[in-house]
Amino acid sequence: MGRNYYGEIKKGYAKLWDTESKLRTAEVEADDLPRVRLTTSKGEVDIELYENEAPETVGNFINLVEQGYYDGLKFHRVLQNFMAQTGCPKGDGTGGPGYRIYCECLTRNDYRNFFAGSLGMAHGGPNTGGSQFFITFRPTANLNGKHTCFGRVIKGLDIVKEITKINPEKPDPKAQPDRIIKAEVLRKRDHAYVPRRVTN
């Protein structure tokens, strides 16, 4: 691959980041997006949620947080230079809340893109997500439009990057997975947050 290929990649990223930067500036000024704190075995991580672009995903997430669903769950899949995944009650990536939600990135043109510290819904195919989510360590353009990006880390990304690496395909018996000790809503908008479940 030549310079032109990588030049186009850099230009494409710069354009995406320019759009993202403008959105973040507007969000700082509005200062009204929901926030959640994850107290992990490595430390505290504060998250801001993209309710404007992913209201259903955010509604589902906040609903689960308020139920205490995530408390005690492992970071069961943590891949070097990629992401940390959690939200499975079974601890092996096969569990969920007992229902599925819609992938908003497939139905909205204003979906957010993935950068370092982005939150995304994990799924096994379109409209199969539920409770599992991941936090990216770096920009991951290959996920844009395929997984719903519904928030970002605003404090504690360095802590996220320290989470013990767990590769389910190459198990290390000595590796002890980190956990979410407690997830709590720091603030939210004044309305009910409920999931819209897939019905078919």
pTM: 0.94
H/E run at residue 22? helix 3-30
Mean pLDDT for 104-133 is 98
- CA torsion sign, 34 to 58 to 85 to 16? negative
Calculate what percentage of the chain has a pLDDT beyond 70. Answer: 96
Tens of pLDDT, residue by residue over 38-67, are 999 999 999 999 999 999 999 999 999 999
Tens of pLDDT, residue by residue over 64-99, are 999 999 999 999 999 999 999 999 999 999 999 999
Residue from 45, 9, 7 nearest 141 by CA: 9
Q: What is the pLDDT of residue 7?
A: 59
Q: 3 pLDDT band (50/70/90 cuts)?
A: low
Other C-beta atoms closer than 10 Å to the C-beta of 5 total 8
Q: What are residue 71's phi and psi, to 5 degrees?
A: -60, 125
Residue 36 near residue 57, CB atoms below 8 Å: no
Q: What is the pLDDT of residue 12?
A: 83
C-alpha span between 62 and 173 (Å, rounded): 33
Q: Is a pLDDT exceeding 70 seen at residue 2? A: no
CATH of region 32-187: 2.40.100.10
The residue ranges of every structural domain in the chain are 32-187
